[in-house]
Structure 1
Amino acid sequence: MAPPALQKQYMSSGTAPKKAIAEPRPSASILLISPSNQILLLHRVQTSSSFPSAHVFPGGNLSASQDGEIPGPTDPRRHVDGPAYRLGAIRECFEESGILLARRDDGSGALLEIPEEERERARKDIHAGKLRFGDWVRSQGGVVDSDSLLPFTRWITPTNIPKRFTTQMYIYFLPLTQTSAKNISSEAVIPVPTSDGGVEHTAALFASCKEWLDQATRNEIILFPPQYYLMHLLSPFLDTPSSTSLSTEDLQKQRDAVLEFLNGDGDGKGVKWADKVMSPTGLLIRKSDGRSVLALDKPGPELKDSGRRGDEKRVVLVKFRKEGPRSLEVRLRKDVLDEEKAVEKDSKL
């Protein structure tokens, strides 16, 4: 049976595309970490034009009218962390989840809390373009907390995919002392965010990285390679048995371990996680289980001569099916290639 169209596109991403390469659209997403070090995912609706039915991090496309100047296609800042990416990430997080990453401007450093009715009104008006996000935050006595965003890789869609993005990923740690049930509930139903009655997300839920990964492994939810891969990297630092209640000190130690990890490069090539760029490239389709092996070392044609790289040690295994990616796994590249060589050798005996 021939692989689905998306699997074919990924596996041919190392070849010259027949059509003109689409310009990747600037976007940003946040790996939002709760006071108990769980991570937020949003469940997209089946009719969505991007990542239908998948669980995703809050985020979306940048908006010039909302986020300020967006570097153009030939601008070297196009694929670099910057003010528009940071503001866009926080704005999208607010629109999609209702969680406002802003501080009170009174010098206290506390998160800005907004009454529910006003917050929901603002979410809809900002999404509809009736209200500028930054202006609204200032009118509420706050300042957007863009300085607390921690860059954590950039992803550029492979050239053979028709709709491409250059997505800056960030980590944001909600304060360990934050106790507002309104802004950090364990589960929140997302209201209709569009003026035409469409729903982009059905629910937002905090869970541990391990819980999300286990659900994807059992094919109970759909995760795309970037979400699976990034949670795989964070899981060893943030996961705690569900029966264990950690102290604030222990939770902070987990976060400190993440910060130490972010300051490293992961593969000895000198590119820190903040600057790594991943443009997945199909290496092969495994004979044993039919899964695609996606390499993450190349940054894509837009950054071909920039000196920036991705992850040269790891690969993502995935089976692209009609409903979306399935059977994901992150493995060491060397181990996977060695296994394939052994299978090839055995098949010739």
Structure 2
Amino acid sequence: MPVTPKPASTVIVLRDGPPGLEVLLLKRNARTRFGPGASVFPGGAVDADDTGPTAPPCPVDETAASTELGVRRGGLAYRIAAIRECFEEAGILLARRTDGTPLRLDDPAAMQRFQAYREALRHQQTTLADICGREQLRLFGDELLYVSHWVTPAYVPKRFDTRFFLAVAPAGQEATCCGQETVDQCWVTPEAGLDAETRGALQLMTPTRDTLERLARYDSAEAVIAGVRQQRLGARIPGHGLMEQRFPDPA
């Protein structure tokens, strides 16, 4: 009997590096049940604190978020889960100060404080809403773009119904793996990531590979953002769990 997939979210984090457009990949612990050893985008399951009164402030409201994802309700929880998981797994918090200024974590005091928040969040000793309240933060709104929807095939014992989002890495924040669920991190160009898989240096899951193939046509993060904003719906891959795609098809 097929397992019901759990709601989940993923963030494709981009930056412009010396070789061109780069994307953040995290290597999953070989002991994890889902995707052991695979290089993936930051992400995970939607939690109870991602919705309702415990949810942190977000410029996108529930109605708009649900409409965007094509669901009756619960759309905002996917967006919040994406941001929370990115902070937990990669140490990047997609948020701004409530006065609109960027959140920078590159001074020692801020680095130490937010590392403590991250560990407490990972161990369920605090919530993202509490962190936002203490630091006067608001989560990314339209800087976080919804790009695709994947569902793990029915034959897989652990399944996820995953919404993929995309964001540019904030200045003044460095990615670091958590050391438990994820054990390494790297910034790679899409072409280099695909080449590494061909050589056996990286293990990619189908959604990750497909996304890198689509990103490979762009030369900058700005170009990716512009392309996604112009694209509405794309193709499906029969049998591979792609439900909706807002990246243009690979050239």
Contact 2:95 2:103 in 1 (8 A): yes
Cα deviation for residue 106 of structure 1 reads 1.9
Aligned to 1:41: 25
- Match for residue 111 of structure 1? 103
For 2:72 and 2:183, the matched residues in 1 are separated by 31
Q: Does 1:68 align with 2:51?
A: yes
The TM-score with structure 2 as length reference comes to: 0.80
- Asked if 1:32 corresponds to 2:21, the answer is no
The aligned counterpart of 1:7 is: none
CA RMSD after TM alignment: 2.9
The 3-state SS of whatever aligns with 1:90 is helix
Q: Alpha carbons of 1:279 and 1:118: their partners in 2 closer, same or farther (altered >3 Å)?
A: farther
Identity of matched residues, %? 27
Q: Residues 310 and 38 of structure 1: is their aligned pair in 2 closer, same or farther, counting only changes over 3 Å?
A: closer
User: Do 2:28 and 2:38's aligned partners in 1 also have CA atoms closer than 8 Å?
Assistant: yes
Q: Do structure 1's residue 122 and structure 2's residue 117 form an aligned pair?
A: yes
Distance in 1 separating the partners of 2:139 and 2:145: 14
Q: Does 1:147 align with 2:128?
A: no
**Relative to structure 1, is the Cα distance of residues 95 and 139 closer, same or farther in structure 2, using a 3 angstrom cutoff?**
same
- DSSP 3-state at the match of 1:212: helix
Deviation at residue 231 of structure 1 after TM alignment: 0.9
CA shift, 1:23, in A, is 1.3
Inter-partner Cα distance in structure 2 for 1:58 and 1:79:
26
Q: How many angstroms does 1:261 deviate by?
A: 2.7
Task: Tell me the CA shift for residue 272 of structure 1.
Answer: 1.7
Deviation at 1:259, TM superposition (A): 3.2
Matched residue, 1:249: none
The AA in structure 2 aligned to 1:68 is: T
Distance 1:24-1:77 versus aligned 2 partners, 3 A rule: farther
TM-score (structure 1 length as normaliser): 0.59
Q: 1:280 to 1:46 in 2, by over 3 A?
A: farther
Counterparts of 2:238 and 2:158, CA distance in 1 = 14
Q: Which segments of 5 or more consecutive residues in structure 1 lack a partner in the other structure?
A: 1-18, 193-198, 239-253, 266-270, 282-293, 300-308, 315-329, 333-349
1:93–1:27 CA distance, 2 compared to 1 (3 A) = same
**What is the CA-CA distance between 1:184 and the residue it aligns to?**
2.5
Check conservation: 1:79, 1:166, Cα contact below 8 A.
no
Write the distance in 2 (CA, Å) between the matches of 1:46 and 1:280: 29
Q: Does 1:157 align with 2:138?
A: no
> Which of the pair has the greater relative contact order for Cα pairs under 8 Å at 6+ separation?
2
Distance change in 2, residues 1:135/1:205 (3 Å): same
Matched, 1:94 2:87: yes
1:146 Cα offset (Å): 3.7
**In the alignment, residue 88 of structure 1 is paired with which amino acid?**
A
Number of aligned residue pairs: give it. Answer: 230
Q: Deviations over 1:226-266 (max 9, x none)?
A: 0000011011103xxxxxxxxxxxxxxx334323432455x
Counterpart amino acid of 1:272? L
Tell whether 2:203 aligns with 1:184: no
Deviations 1:252-288 (CA, angstroms, capped at 9, x unpaired): xx334323432455xxxxx525xx7x5751xxxxxxx
Structure 1 counterpart SS, 2:142: helix
**How do 1:148-297 residues align onto structure 2 when only pairs under 5 Å count?**
148-175=143-170, 178=171, 180=172, 183-184=173-174, 188=176, 190-192=177-179, 199-238=180-219, 254-263=220-229, 272=233, 281=239
Q: Say which of 52, 64, 68 aligns to 2:36.
A: 52
Post-superposition CA distance 1:178-221 (Å, at most 9, x none): 2x2xx236xx3x344xxxxxx21111221211111110111111
Per the alignment, in what secondary structure is the counterpart of residue 215 of structure 2?
A: helix
**1:167, CA displacement in angstroms?**
0.4
Which AA in structure 2 matches 1:205?
C
Instruction: Please tell me whether Structure 1 or Structure 2 has the larger radius of gyration of its CA atoms.
Output: 1
- Measure, in 2, the Cα distance between the counterparts of 1:79 and 1:191: 34
Contact preservation (8 Å) 1:134, 1:144: no
CA distance in 2, matches of 1:126, 1:221: 29
Q: Deviations over 1:307-340 (max 9, x none)?
A: xx569x97xxxxxxxxxxxxxxx8x9xxxxxxxx
Contact kept? 1:81, 1:151, Cα under 8 Å: no
What 5-or-longer segments of structure 2 have no aligned partner? 56-61, 63-68
Distance 2:141 2:4 in 1: 26
